[in-house]
A and B are shown apart, each in its own frame.
Chain A
Amino acid sequence: MIVIAPSSELTPDQVSRFIHSLGLDLHVKETCYGANIEGPRDQVRKAMVEVRRMDPNRIFTKIRAFPIGDERRCRAHHGSRPGFPQLEKEWKDLALIDKGLCAADRGEVCREKTKPKPLPVKQLQEIIDEVTR
């Protein structure tokens, strides 16, 4: 499953056409979020490497359990798609992951923010005294 991040300028159509142009022995299906590809493992890997090169930090991939057009899941056959809300949520956040990957490529050092310390009781007492005076 190839998912294009919302921050990418690529379209699912461009990606599917590109995969077709590779001339590999693959079954390709264009979808609203990118494309699904199916075929021998080595060919799928080859296609994934090539597709990622189009926009390295904005093209994401994962394996899908059900085959393309499987009647148990394909909505064209009124199949249920319980995983879609999660995919939709993660798809929206891919723009953030893209920023993270770009920062990692640049070697940007990211440090965890220190949590603000709780207000000491003494200081809180002083504030209360000041307000209630």
Chain B
Amino acid sequence: MKVFIVPPNSLILYDLVERFGHEPLSLMGELRDHVVKPEVESPPLNLSQEDIMKGLKYAGIEVPSGVRGRLAIWGPLVDQAGAAIIMHDMPYTFGCVGCHRTNLMLMYLVRKRGIPTLEVHYPHNEEEAKLMVSKVKGFLEGLK
């Protein structure tokens, strides 16, 4: 099953989803198609106007372009997902996952779709890590 991960570029979640036998839907996978496709539409990242317009499906025109741009990539992934894992309190809140408003919109989109969703917290110690992994494992095994 295709499992969407939040944050969409998390190494930990990507590995856990793949390890327990599912297909992770990640930002890296989606962007790879953009940056390696032969036609160079808008170098260096090949983000075209069409991509930005796709974002309008997920956020209104009055929403900042950065939010729409991000949702243009993440939104179609949410549409494809059969399940999702959301990790809260991630310590890194900068770069491509640094827009809090986009993150809130993304969580709203995931919850609105009504797919099976697991919400966990970023682990800060051994006990929390054990709890997080056991929850993720239980959830992913239950999807089979």
Interface residues of A (CB under 8 A from B): 3, 60-67, 70, 72, 82-83, 85-87, 89-91, 93-94, 96-97, 99-101, 103-104, 108-113
In the complex, which residues of chain A have a beta carbon less than 8 angstroms from the beta carbon of B126? 96, 99-100
Across the A-B interface, give the 8 residue pairs with the lowest CB-CB distance, nearest first. A100-B133, A96-B129, A65-B31, A62-B14, A100-B129, A60-B15, A86-B92, A110-B134
- Besides the contacts A60-B12, A67-B36, what 17 more A-B pairs have beta carbons closer than 8 Å? A65-B35, A72-B44, A86-B92, A90-B10, A90-B11, A93-B123, A96-B126, A100-B129, A100-B130, A100-B132, A100-B133, A103-B133, A104-B134, A110-B127, A110-B131, A110-B135, A113-B127
Flag if B15 contacts A62 (CB, 8 Å).
yes
Chain B CB within 10 Å — which of A62, A93, A99, A103 has the most?
A62
A103 and B128 CA atoms in complex are apart in Å by 12
Flag if A72 contacts B130 (CB, 8 Å).
no
B residues 112-133 in Cβ contact with A at 8 Å = 123, 125-133
Chain B CB within 10 Å — which of A72, A93, A111 has the most?
A93
In the complex, which residues of chain A have a beta carbon less than 8 angstroms from the beta carbon of B142? none
Query: Within the complex, what minimum Cβ distance (angstroms) separates A116 from chain B?
Result: 16
Number of A-B pairs, beta carbon distance below 8 Å: 103
Closest to A52 in B: B19
A42 and B137 CA atoms in complex are apart in Å by 25
Query: Within the complex, what minimum Cβ distance (angstroms) separates B24 from chain A?
Result: 8
B79 interfacial by beta-carbon distance below 8 Å: no
Closest to A90 in B: B11
B residues 1-44 in Cβ contact with A at 8 Å = 9-12, 14-16, 18-19, 26-29, 31-32, 34-36, 44
Flag if B96 contacts A82 (CB, 8 Å).
yes
In the complex, which residues of chain B have a beta carbon less than 8 angstroms from the beta carbon of A66? 32, 35
A84 and B134 CA atoms in complex are apart in Å by 27
26 contacting pairs across A/B (C-beta < 8 A): A3-B11, A62-B14, A62-B15, A62-B28, A65-B34, A65-B35, A66-B32, A66-B35, A67-B35, A83-B9, A83-B95, A85-B92, A90-B10, A90-B11, A97-B12, A97-B15, A97-B129, A99-B126, A100-B126, A100-B130, A100-B134, A101-B19, A101-B133, A103-B133, A108-B130, A110-B130
